[in-house]
């Protein structure tokens, strides 16, 4: 049995038996830290923790390894509930196009953007896609992410969507963190269906979803509900078909415009609504009547120079907020959640504690891992981050661009 003992931890963060599985409103300010602590991990499961003064000396003899954590903090790993980590190619050409004045939406209207990724995806074989993506996921884990959601959505055809989801399934078998898979065939209309939306929706409903169900390839069903992408009514058709196949809705909405997608997603029992750079009062009212979690993606706002989501509006209305990376080759090439932590503090006016809660417990909730991930409690298995020496945890988002992660244990 693998028994790892952390001793002399300067601060054991998000640790306790009464930590809620989701924190909303003012609760998001609370981040419990046990000072001068120990923690015993048995096969990745939290077995014991508490103040050093309570450490039973016998544990020292049975531990298979002891990590002296003097001057360091131990955190539950981050939970990244929204990524597009499987893709064929990066898109730095568009990055330069945007520097030269085009917007993300203009590039997409000219046939670039997601369609560029779809073309590259159709040309890569499954094994190569798997190897490249697995390498990427290993880097994501090294940066402190201990639970990861990955979407399809660069396939936009039966073969390629299934190829992406099979790759996600293979990645699951090769890493030690939980991975959730999301079917996002409704990410954009393929060129051939630009004028025939219903034609593509029919393919999603009658061909792709049944095959995903038969091969058990996904947990969630996603749609990019946005002007020039999927309308609310189109989203509804896809979500209903996904639900009938046992997939839980989790959607892209309100990135550039407010179409009413949030209330429709809530009505269809979505687990999360993601992006929300635009957010209206009706959206807040809809969320207040639901268990759906608002998820914001500050890396996307930063990279595309679009507004940051109004996180304070979510919190002041006593709602829970999750944050995620949105890691993808078009709008957010950054998977590092320490960077997202800084951006949330700097640009969305979240306190360091609020932002960490949004990246841990609330991120876990947004991917169906509440309880086991995002916090350190008896029996939880969140994966752990051992920090470099730090004075306090506020230094982490403050020292933006610097890595605070020394070791990640998953």
Give the helix/strand (H/E) hosting 164: helix 158-174
Site for ligand NIG, residues 70 to 109, rule: CB under 6 A: none
State in angstroms the smallest separation of the CB of 166 from Fe ion: 20
Q: Phi, psi (5° rounding) for residue 367?
A: -130, 25
Q: What is the largest CA-CA distance in the chain?
A: 71
Rg from Cα positions in the chain: 21
Beta-strand relationship, 179-186 and 145-151: parallel
Site for ligand NIG, residues 194 to 233, rule: CB under 6 A: 224
Question: Based on CB atoms, which residue is closest to ligand NIG, 224 or 404?
Answer: 224
The pattern of x and - marking residues 11 through 50 that bind ligand NIG according to CB under 6 A reads ----------------------------------------
By beta carbon distance, the residue nearest Fe ion is 326
- Tokens of residue 93, six digits: 């050409």
Answer yes or no whether residue 114 interacts with ligand NIG by CB under 6 A: yes
Question: Based on CB atoms, which residue is closest to ligand NIG, 298 or 368?
Answer: 298
* SS3 state at 192: helix
Answer yes or no whether residue 263 interacts with ligand NIG by CB under 6 A: no
State in angstroms the smallest separation of the CB of 406 from Fe ion: 30
Question: Based on CB atoms, which residue is closest to Fe ion, 151 or 373?
Answer: 151
- Tokens of residue 357, six digits: 């809660």
* SS3 state at 45: strand
- Tokens of residue 295, six digits: 């998820």
Site for Fe ion, residues 271 to 330, rule: CB under 5 A: 326
Which DSSP state fits 32?
Answer: -
Q: Are 179 and 234 in contact (CB under 8 A)?
A: no
State in angstroms the smallest separation of the CB of 253 from Fe ion: 11
By beta carbon distance, the residue nearest ligand NIG is 330
Question: Based on CB atoms, which residue is closest to ligand NIG, 105 or 219?
Answer: 105
Stretch near ligand NIG under the rule CB under 6 A, chosen from 26-34, 110-118, 134-142, 171-179: 110-118
- Tokens of residue 386, six digits: 């051992």
Question: Based on CB atoms, which residue is closest to Fe ion, 72 or 278?
Answer: 278
Contacted by 157, from ligand NIG, Fe ion, none: CB < 5 to 8 Å by type: none
With tokens 């096969």, the residue in question is 43
- Measured distance CA(307)–CA(39) in Å, rounded: 41
Contacted by 259, from Fe ion, ligand NIG, none: CB < 5 to 8 Å by type: none
Alpha helix stretches (DSSP H) within 26-71: 58-62
The end-to-end CA distance of the chain, in Å, is 15
The pattern of x and - marking residues 309 through 348 that bind ligand NIG according to CB under 6 A reads -----------------x-xxxx-----------------
> How many residues sit close enough to ligand NIG to count as binding (CB under 6 A)?
12
Answer yes or no whether residue 222 interacts with Fe ion by CB under 5 A: no
The string of DSSP codes covering 289-344 is TSSPEEEE-HHHHHHHT-PPP-HHHHHHTT-BEEE----BTTTB----HHHHHHHH
- Measured distance CA(278)–CA(289) in Å, rounded: 19
* SS3 state at 296: strand
- Measured distance CA(144)–CA(359) in Å, rounded: 11
Which residue from 11, 113, 190, 383 is in contact with ligand NIG, where contact means CB under 6 A? 113
State in angstroms the smallest separation of the CB of 249 from Fe ion: 14
Contacted by 117, from Fe ion, ligand NIG, none: CB < 5 to 8 Å by type: ligand NIG
State in angstroms the smallest separation of the CB of 275 from Fe ion: 7
By the criterion CB under 6 A, which residues form the site for ligand NIG?
A: 113-114, 117, 224, 252, 255, 300, 326, 328-331
By the criterion CB under 5 A, which residues form the site for Fe ion?
A: 326
């Amino acid at each position: 049995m693998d028994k790892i003992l952390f001793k002399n931890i300067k601060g054991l963060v998000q640790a306790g038996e009464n930590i809620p599985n989701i924190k909303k409103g003012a609760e998001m300010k609370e981040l419990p830290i046990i000072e001068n602590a120990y923690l015993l991990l048995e096969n990745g499961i939290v077995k014991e923790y508490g103040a050093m003064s309570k450490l039973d000396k016998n544990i020292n003899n049975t531990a298979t390894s002891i990590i002296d954590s003097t001057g360091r903090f131990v955190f539950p790993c981050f939970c990244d509930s929204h990524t597009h980590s499987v893709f064929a190619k990066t898109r730095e050409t568009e990055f330069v196009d945007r520097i030269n004045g085009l917007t993300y939406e203009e590039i997409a209207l000219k046939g670039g953007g997601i369609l560029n990724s779809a073309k590259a995806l159709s040309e890569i074989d499954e094994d190569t896609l798997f190897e490249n993506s697995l390498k990427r996921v290993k880097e994501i884990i090294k940066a402190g992410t201990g639970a990861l959601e990955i979407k399809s959505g660069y396939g936009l055809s039966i073969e390629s969507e299934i190829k992406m989801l099979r790759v996600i399934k293979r990645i699951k078998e090769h890493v030690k963190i939980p991975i959730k898979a999301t079917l996002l065939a409704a990410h954009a209309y393929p060129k051939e269906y630009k004028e025939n939306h219903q034609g593509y929706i029919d393919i999603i409903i009658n061909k792709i979803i049944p095959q995903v169900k038969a091969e058990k390839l996904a947990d969630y069903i996603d749609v990019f509900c946005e002007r020039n992408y999927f309308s609310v009514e189109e989203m509804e058709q896809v979500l209903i078909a996904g639900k009938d196949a046992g997939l839980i809705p989790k959607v892209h909405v309100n990135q550039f415009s407010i179409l009413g997608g949030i209330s429709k997603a809530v009505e269809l029992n979505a687990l999360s609504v993601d992006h929300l750079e635009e957010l209206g009062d009706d959206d807040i009212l809809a969320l207040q009547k639901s268990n759906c979690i608002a998820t914001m993606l500050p890396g996307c706002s930063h990279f595309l120079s679009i507004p940051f989501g109004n996180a304070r509006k979510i919190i002041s209305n006593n709602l829970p907020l999750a944050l995620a990376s949105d890691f993808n080759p078009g709008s957010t090439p950054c998977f590092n959640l320490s960077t997202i932590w800084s951006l949330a503090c700097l640009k969305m006016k979240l306190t360091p504690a609020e932002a960490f809660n949004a990246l841990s417990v609330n991120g876990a909730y947004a991917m169906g891992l509440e309880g086991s991930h995002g916090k350190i409690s008896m029996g939880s298995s969140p994966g752990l981050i051992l920090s470099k020496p730090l004075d306090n945890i506020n230094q982490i988002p403050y020292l933006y661009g610097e890595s605070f992660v020394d070791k990640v244990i998953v």
